Amino acid sequence: MDIIIKETGEVEELRIIDRKNGVNWAGDLVGNHTIDADCEEDEDGIMIMDLRTHQWWDNLTTTLQAAEDRFWEMIKDIPGSECEPGTPYHELMEQFNERDGDLEDQPSLIHAICDGYQNR
């Protein structure tokens, strides 16, 4: 997802890749969690945000990507599937999909799921 920095006019990219399908979902993430005061769109539909807001989103997407990468790397060798209740895989996917908390807490929540499984 391209972002125009309001103060400089520079175009920066926000990226967070879904490891299941390869899609960059930064646009969905930002679009679902911003308010009009944080961002606006130019005539081509590219989001414009101030540098501070961009830095916040860049930090979040970077730390969230690292946490999700850790989770998907860990879970790839775990037996079971999402369709097999009671398997370790199914239980971890439930925890992953049902985590609750503020957006900025999501990376640490994912790391806690990984830590809990690895330290069992």
Total of domains in the chain = 1
Domain carrying residue 77:
2-118
Rounded to the nearest 10°, the torsion over CA 13, 66, 71, 99 is -80
Task: Single out the residue of 111, 116, 87, 91 nearest to residue 101, CA to CA.
Answer: 111
Q: What is the pLDDT of residues 35-90, one digit of tens each?
A: 666 778 888 889 999 999 999 999 999 999 999 999 999 999 888 877 888 888 99
Does the pLDDT of residue 93 top 70, yes or no? yes
Q: How confident is the model at residue 5 (pLDDT cuts 50, 70, 90)?
A: very high
Cross-strand pairs, 118: none
Phi, psi (5° rounding) for residue 41? -120, 145
Alpha carbons within 13 A on the beta-carbon side of 30:
29
